[in-house]
A and B are shown apart, each in its own frame.
Chain A
């Protein structure tokens, strides 16, 4: 995003504001629809966060609802369901970091070593196809493969082995969620790592090979340092997003595995806010998440800077 603000203005604006307004009126007019939409659907809701400090009543609106200070937050922090969602979120985030994060890196390395460009492109196109699927579709596919009536159990049944329903088991839900995320998004995540690999100067490989470095040493001393910046960036983004583990994925599968396993912070706001008409309570949960997330992004960036990397924004 740095490129946005770094370019110098082409012409010096010595003209008066009135002349410039007249000159640029078409340009300004063009931005009006987008700005209007963002004001209504992004900025106005920011004021809607005030409802977190109210006992919001839809019949009287934001301005006339009763102000209750921090009461919603007190209730929230005393709610075991809320703590359950928070724990679930952090746990899922952690597991995804361990199991998901390395896979695209490994696949990118593997794919990069395929010599035929056509084959490389073909494999990549197939691998990131599921990125364009909706979660409904992705989960339906998983259900057909692993659900109670799915392919796996169909096979187990026909061989007289006891069935194994992965889709409704709360104990293995973490692994299910993570494998779905890997199936859907790992192929897409390869792109950025492949780009980093392509940016490494091949002369480095050649000269180190001439100097006697084997393939593993080249991997360790050239490839990985060359990817370090991008890996760090992705890690920072992942840490900054630790409280976001996917929303629709949980929404769709909550019914099957039960709320104890499937409630995360985002779905908490939905189920205990909108679905129960307890809007202020949900807004408080949402606000809590937003504030912590901003802190996480800020902290993760500090961390990246400490490692000498750019992170999300420069120092």
Chain B
């Protein structure tokens, strides 16, 4: 259902960015007919928006500062550190030296990379396969896809199917069941359908088949939307943790970062099994606060790394849609 919501959103977004170009010219300055703002109104507005920005940034700031603090600074503050006094990267050194976290980081990166590639390839192919109007059965397949947005077997039947296929404890169980997002396919398809028909017809006359057209014409002209979809898939895989809870709740050496975060930062538990195997020695007991915060930062950093890129392509992808549509 959230997916349906997002469809409308993306469509509207194209509108908005299409128009911001116009608006920039028109609304850079206050229009003459608009009454000048009152001082009280401006203050209230500034304060509200300031609060909106602060509730997001302040916790992140505090977490980063604490992760960079020494144990002495943490003790002095009685917990979280708000202002950096003696900055140290000790927590990060310990964290990256710990096999549990290193392992979880690799697992997370692996799942994210493999999952994104699988999802993207499957979605791009399907979207193009359905984007040529008049092709055999494309309408039927489309209906088949869209129906899954409304009907689902739900948690338990899906769990049973994956388990019967031997997915319990397997990495593919974290990727394949959710690999296809029909919503993303519909977005890609909308863009691919917009690719110039003349261009495609010309290529066809020159003897290019559909694979060639997809690779040499459609993909290069819709790079931005492909990037956006890839990033959405990527963020989804990076953030997923429930599948882990479902399919590998006990094999702690297979856990991705989010699950490690949940277990010993959120719940403050030592990792199960760590005492016997000597695995995750730093984390057998509740870890020091700076170390916990370093793990939090570690889960945020990849998101922050792709965020500006995502923003850029978000706009470009969205603009392309507006121009084409």
Which residues of B157-200 have CB atoms within 8 Å of chain A's CB atoms?
Answer: 157-165, 176-180, 182, 185-186, 190, 193, 197
Partner of B33, one of A134, A210, A233: A210
Nearest residue (CB) in A for B30 is A115
Could you tell me if A252 and B262 are in contact, using CB atoms closer than 8 angstroms?
Answer: yes
If A33-B122, A154-B79, A195-B12 touch, does A49 touch B154 (CB 8 Å cutoff)? yes
B45-53, B88-96, B97-105 - the one binding chain A: B45-53
Give CA–CA (A102, B19) in the complex, Å: 25
Query: How many residue-residue contacts, CB under 8 A, span A and B?
Result: 318
If A133-B303, A134-B239 touch, does A30 touch B128 (CB 8 Å cutoff)? yes
Could you tell me if B258 and A134 are in contact, using CB atoms closer than 8 angstroms?
Answer: yes
Could you tell me if B80 and A136 are in contact, using CB atoms closer than 8 angstroms?
Answer: no
Could you tell me if B78 and A154 are in contact, using CB atoms closer than 8 angstroms?
Answer: yes
Could you tell me if A111 and B49 are in contact, using CB atoms closer than 8 angstroms?
Answer: yes
A162 in the interface, Cβ–Cβ < 8 Å?
Answer: no
Could you tell me if B45 and A41 are in contact, using CB atoms closer than 8 angstroms?
Answer: no
Chain B interfacial residues counted at CB < 8 A: 117
Write 24 A-B pairs (CB below 8 A) sorted by A numbering: A31-B126, A31-B129, A37-B180, A38-B180, A41-B162, A44-B161, A45-B152, A45-B153, A47-B157, A48-B156, A49-B157, A51-B160, A127-B56, A132-B303, A198-B16, A202-B27, A205-B31, A241-B2, A247-B242, A279-B156, A286-B155, A290-B152, A290-B154, A312-B4
- A-side interface residues toward B, CB under 8 Å? 1, 3-5, 7-13, 17, 20-21, 23-24, 26-31, 33-35, 37-38, 40-49, 51, 56, 58, 61-62, 107, 110-111, 113-115, 117, 123, 125-127, 129-130, 132-137, 139-141, 143-145, 149-151, 154, 157-158, 183, 187, 191-192, 194-196, 198-199, 202, 205-206, 209-210, 214-215, 230, 233-234, 237, 240-241, 244, 247-248, 251-252, 255, 266, 269-270, 273-274, 279, 282-283, 286-287, 289-290, 293-294, 297, 312
- B-side interface residues toward A, CB under 8 Å? 1-2, 4-5, 7-9, 11-13, 15-16, 19-20, 23-24, 26-31, 33-35, 45, 48-49, 52-53, 55-57, 59-60, 62-63, 77-80, 82, 121-123, 125-126, 128-130, 132-139, 141-142, 144-146, 148, 150-165, 176-180, 182, 185-186, 190, 193, 197, 209-211, 214, 235, 238-242, 245-246, 258-259, 261-262, 265-267, 293, 296, 299-300, 303, 307, 311
